[in-house]
Structure 1
Amino acid sequence: MGHDSINAHVVIKARCEREGVSDICPTCKGHASLEKYEGQRAEAEAWEPTDPPKGEGWQLWETVSEGSPVSPVFATADELAGWMSDPERGDRWVPGDVARKFIEDGWAPTGVVSASHGYQSGVEAAGWTDDKK
């Protein structure tokens, strides 16, 4: 990483120039990823960060990237816990007691790995009790 990868880039670029070959991938055009739909990259580049809403309310935010809302704003913590524990959300719901524990803690890591549980989201891990760790 770092210095070695910069050196590798310089050497590869020089060799491509010497051999008359482009060093830019013709498929991704140097982006290292493909758009799922036309204009996706432009939408991502036009994105602007949004501050949390002002006033009273409860909302789930992710903080892995720049931070963005994951849930609607609710008037109470119980309403947010209800949304988080709604099975209609598919594979992203958690049991009600786990949602309430997460809200009480106010934060959870992205994920946790343990010998007894394997990988679980940080919200799921917030619901672990001492006897399950």
Structure 2
Amino acid sequence: MSAGCREELGPVQYRTTRVTGIVRAGSQPVGGGWVEFHPAEGTVGNLRSAPVAPDGTFAVDRVPVGVNQVGFQDLPVDPALGRIFRPLSSPIRRTLIEGPPARIEIDLLEEAIRFSKTRPGGA
């Protein structure tokens, strides 16, 4: 069995940070489901995910520093709203920096409005 590039060169090193936050729909916390951080726009790293607690909070370790696409799976929200924020198609981006844990707040209603304005025929 021959070794692959990863074994020959060693693991790819990348900077990471811890991310904590809360998910809301307007003023109401959205609890349940999963949050996923996917490296985007040239950011190097691995997908990181964590459950969303009943109070809407989450904590994710080892999230790549740089631009990340933030998506959600199995949120207890209207299916039309949930479809917008599926992992790999979510319009939400957050730039994370190295240092103390990042804290982010995501309001799904605000993000949906922002998304609708960027689509052809949007407001």
TM-score of the superposition, structure 1-length normalised? 0.25
Please tell me whether Structure 1 or Structure 2 has the larger radius of gyration of its CA atoms.
1
More strand by share: 2
TM-score of the superposition, structure 2-length normalised? 0.26
More helix by share: 1
